[in-house]
Chain A
Amino acid sequence: MSHNAQIINGIEPTTTGAFSLSTDSEYISFGVGGSSSYSTSPATSLAQLATFYMFDTAPVNTIMGASIGSGWISSFTLPAGRYHVVFQFRVVFSATGQAAIGIYDAANTHISTPMRIGTSGIQASHGFAYIDISSDQTFTFKLASVTNVASIASQLTVPSEHNFLFILKVA
């Protein structure tokens, strides 16, 4: 009998039959309020459906098979599974306006509730998503709706100081 016939969550036992399984939660945490001007990001536009970026030089990723970059990033890739996602952004306005930012899948479908802020309540806000996928997929942050968002140069360090992403694998 081969001990390798028994595999749990992709983990094979040792030759003595012992499994080493983690009971910790798997998560991604990105964004701790770092200060970096948005003009140093790869962003080229703040129009509707433009890619939006968040900043962290030392993100934490404990989800096996998931990937996310560091510095300025706009996307993340998750393996098959179910995930709870919360994210936060803030932008600067040039006049009375509003902005909504959401998560888009590879088919450019908006799959989250967008975080939305406006000039009157100038504050960071939060969006949420429940992702249930059967294979690897990459997701991207995009501006779902914008009115009078200031230029990239005028964003200064406001986006980086307020951005946050937390992904918890729930199944």
Chain B
Amino acid sequence: MSHNAQIYNGSTSQADGTVSTAILNAQTAAMSTPAFNGSSETVNNGHRFPFIFNASFCRIATSGVTVVTATAANTPFATNQSSYAEAFTINNAGTYLLKANPYFTFGAASGSAMTCRWRDTLGNNLGPKTRLSCDGSWQYGNIVYAVITITSPRTVFVSCSEKSGTVTLTGQANLTFSWGYLQILKLTK
């Protein structure tokens, strides 16, 4: 019997009978930034959390992810949107883990808060709500998760809602974006 009769997903085994099979075919996109554009911007319900898109702070191993540039219509930014992303279009069919760490500053009032969750431009909620809040002294960021399976391109973003108190993207130096984080992990081949 020839060892080449052993076929693994279309690949043949080595002469010694060993086979290399990929258990985890994960691809990752990660982003962060140490700086904000300098002005204070108010976050309102319906806004998309903006992530900076700068090659110095991005690692994109995933082919097929397209960045949607931030706009004044969908983000708190009146100016300087072009360096930021408000959404990401995932072009390839498959299953993905979406993980983001949005961070806001609040109007220093205890109890100020805002809810975030992953949504898509088709109007679907993609994952659970998570909440960012302030106790008067500390601002709390949080992690927003979702798992999606797509068969055609899908544009996803972190949606902001249920605001209480004043919510801004700055106010404490550059913490907002230096604590922000985004990862898209592909779970299927």
Contacts and interface: CB of A to CB of B under 8 A. Distances in A.
Contacts of A21: 8-9, 21
Interface residues on A, range: 35 or more
Contacts of A23: 9, 21-23, 25, 189
* Interface SS majority for chain A: loop
A161 B129 contact: yes
Given A33-B129, A90-B131, A19 B6 contact: yes
Contacts, number: 107
A31 B128 contact: yes
A85 to B, nearest CB: 12
A13 B6 contact: yes
Contact of A17 (B1, B126, B135): B1
Given A23-B21, A122-B113, 4 more contacts: A16-B5, A27-B97, A161-B129, A166-B97
Interface of B: 1, 5-9, 19, 21-26, 95, 97, 110-111, 113, 117, 125-136, 138, 140, 142-143, 145-147, 149, 187-189
Interface of A: 1, 6, 8, 13, 16-21, 23-25, 27, 29, 31-33, 60, 86, 88, 90, 120-126, 161-164, 166, 168, 170-171
